[in-house]
Amino acid sequence: MMAGFLQNAWYMAGWAHEVADVPLTRRIFDRRVVLYRMEDGGIAALEDRCPHRFAPLSLGTRAGDTLVCGYHGLAFDAAGACVHNPFAARIPAAARVTAWRAEERDGIVWLWGGQPDEADPARIPDFGIVADAPGRKVLRGHTMIMAPYEFCTDNLMDLSHIEYVHKGTLAGDGVIFAGQHSVQEDGEMLHSNWWMPGVTAPIPVRQRFAPGALTDHWLDMRWHAPASMRLDIGATYPGAPRDAGFDIGGQAHIVTPQTATTSHYFTANARSHDVDSPQVDAMLTDLFARAFEEEDRPMIEAAYANLEGRDFWEAGPLSTGVDSGGTRARRRITALLNAEARSVTVDRLG
Ligand code: FES
Ligand SMILES: [Fe+2]
């Protein structure tokens, strides 16, 4: 039902605060989805196309937990069934739209790409570090990238680009060169971690360390399919345990395919310092806009465009070693897609 995309995965559809009574339309895994909040706070996710004359249901109105098509008034419930036809008592059996299972966790709305009854909410990746909590300020964003989601994964799982792409923002005096990089497989997750022992304290927490102090600094990126990544950033005195230092904050970098060649890029940054400071909010908002929208985005888009439609692997990418996180994520996606294709064949044969 979603050619080219994983079915059995949770996809971020948006931030929880974006989904309200008023229908929100968004293209996700190349389907037009309409999202709205039901009276009990739950979220409905339906195909945004009425089966009658194909009007977008997002142009309709709400009646209780149903969505009423704005063209001729057919009403659909959260399971996608037509439950009211204003012109006849009989409702045609074909009057239904696709419904996806939607769950809200950590301020994020997730959609299950497969059959609703096969969705397992226990497999939703944990993004508790960017959920609202006392003593924490979270800044959230959403932008579009004109490249397939795997190219965004390559970018995020290989932070060696920081010293080059982010010269104007996040580059850290060359500390990444002092780092040890490792990629680990861990069940459904991949970890692409940088460990930088004995480096100058990172700027956001420099005042918390003694002047001129060196620190052990970490940048830990965790990946879940299809492209939901969490970055944990911190620093501690050399040799001290991590929890004796400062967790600089958590970031979410969650990429959801919009189409086969375009991606939603959702970002969040959580901090536990200066939580009531509008100046710090403004400074960070500007910093991340420049870093993600003016530095990462043009490079990712230009690199993808430069393939001129050729397949990534057929173009023969070189390996630098530190890029192995993105490579493993790509291989993992391919293996999962192949497994799904095989299971469909088995279902059909059985
Ligand atoms: S197009 Fe929706 S009711 Fe006619
Ligand atoms: Fe970047």
CATH architecture of 10-123: 3-layer Sandwich (2.102)
Q: How far is the CA of 223 from the centre of ligand 2 (A)?
A: 15
72 Cβ below 6 A of ligand 1: yes
Residue 73 CA, closest ligand 1 atom number: 3
- Give the pLDDT confidence score for residue 246 in this predicted structure: 79
**CATH tag for 128-336 (out of 3.40.50.620, 3.40.50.720, 3.90.380.10, 2.40.30.210):** 3.90.380.10
Provide the sign of the torsion angle of the four alpha carbons 97, 98, 104, 109, taken in this order. Answer: negative
59 Cβ below 6 A of ligand 1: no
Q: How far is the CA of 155 from the centre of ligand 2 (A)?
A: 6
Residue 293, classified by CB atoms within 10 Å of its CB into exposed (0-12), middle (13-18) or buried (19+), is middle
The model's pTM is 0.95
Q: How far is the CA of 55 from the centre of ligand 1 (A)?
A: 6
The residue whose CA is least distant from atom 1 of ligand 1 is: 53
For 50-63, write each residue's pLDDT tens digit: 999 999 999 999 99
Distance CA 22, CA 301 (A): 33
- Give the pLDDT confidence score for residue 3 in this predicted structure: 55
How far is CA 148 from each of CA 110, 231, 234, 257, 318, rounded to the nearest angstrom?
19, 21, 30, 7, 19
Distance CA 149, CA 153 (A): 6
Q: Domain residue spans in the chain?
A: 10-123, 128-336
Closest CA to 19 of 142, 144, 148: 142
User: Which ligand sits closest to the CA of 292?
Assistant: 2
331 Cβ below 6 A of ligand 1: no
The residue whose CA is least distant from atom 3 of ligand 1 is: 72
70 Cβ below 6 A of ligand 1: no
- Give the pLDDT confidence score for residue 346 in this predicted structure: 57
Residue 60 CA, closest ligand 1 atom number: 2
Closest CA to 57 of 39, 31, 89: 31
- Low-confidence stretches of the chain (pLDDT < 70) are 1-3, 172, 345-350
